[in-house]
Amino acid sequence: MVKWRILVSTAVAALTVAAWGTTAEAAPTVPPGDGAVVSPSVVGGSRATQGEFPWMVRLSMGCGGALYSPNLVLTAAHCVSRTGTNTSITATLGTVDLQSSSRITRTSNYVYRAPGYNGNGDDWAFIRLSSPVTTLATLPIATTTAYDSGTFTIAGWGANREGGAQQRYQLKATVPFVSDSTCNSSSMYAGQVIAAEEICAGYAAGGVDTCQGDSGGPMFRRDASNAWIQVGIVSWGDGCARPNKPGVYTQVSYFSSSIRSAASSLGS
């Protein structure tokens, strides 16, 4: 069964977030036709160091995100319910330890979900923060396909094994690009991947992957100037780190014009 990488149990999300000292939003609705379990942290990863990926964001509904601008978090459409005013989401930033006394928190004031999202592609969204975060670096997005291959970095606070618990400390890992043709082969996803707007990454042997709770988080790599650039958004996968079941990510470059236009309209 294809699983979105977000926690769908309100009780689990509430208990987990309560332990972090933030307020949980009710878990979002699972997309049509899916009985998914929300994802945990990175499988097969190691602990990230403080300040290593300063743009990483943890969202109270059990998702991840990246700081696109001081007041906008780029995440997955399946993490939010609709476009409109929303003051119920808490974003935690500036720390790898979600219990750190130095963590930064902001509430949301608006959500923008990709127009036309219906659970099949178009899996991106913005969460606008109630006030800007000016002390952290933001993560630029890829605007061409030039960086949509190679080796990528993934990070998050999701489960570190399929069916596992959400993590207190941010984990990171690297995963290789998997071509559309390979990812859509009969041994992998048999045509389920939308080649134009999704990108696959992972090992044929499995063992390293994003998981429930990592939904909406960034997949990123270095650009030609050795700066970090976001190429993907954690979207879905069959289980976590299973052989021949790589992670599937929203291909940011495909949506870059729409993302930038939406950011402008939201006052980024």
Active site residues: 78, 123, 215
Per-residue CA distances from 239 to 57, 70, 106, 226, 246 (Å): 23, 33, 31, 33, 9
Q: Which helix (H) or strand (E) holds 166?
A: none
CA separation for the pair 104, 102 (Å, rounded): 6
CA separation for the pair 245, 265 (Å, rounded): 37
Q: Which helix (H) or strand (E) holds 60?
A: none
CA separation for the pair 53, 94 (Å, rounded): 9
Token pair recorded at residue 81: 């319910």
Q: Are 55 and 65 in contact (CB under 8 A)?
A: no
Q: Residue 6's closest CA among 125, 142, 137?
A: 125
Between the two ends of the chain, the Cα-to-Cα distance in Å is: 37
CA separation for the pair 263, 268 (Å, rounded): 5
Q: Where are the alpha helices (DSSP H) in the chain?
A: 10-20, 180-183, 252-265
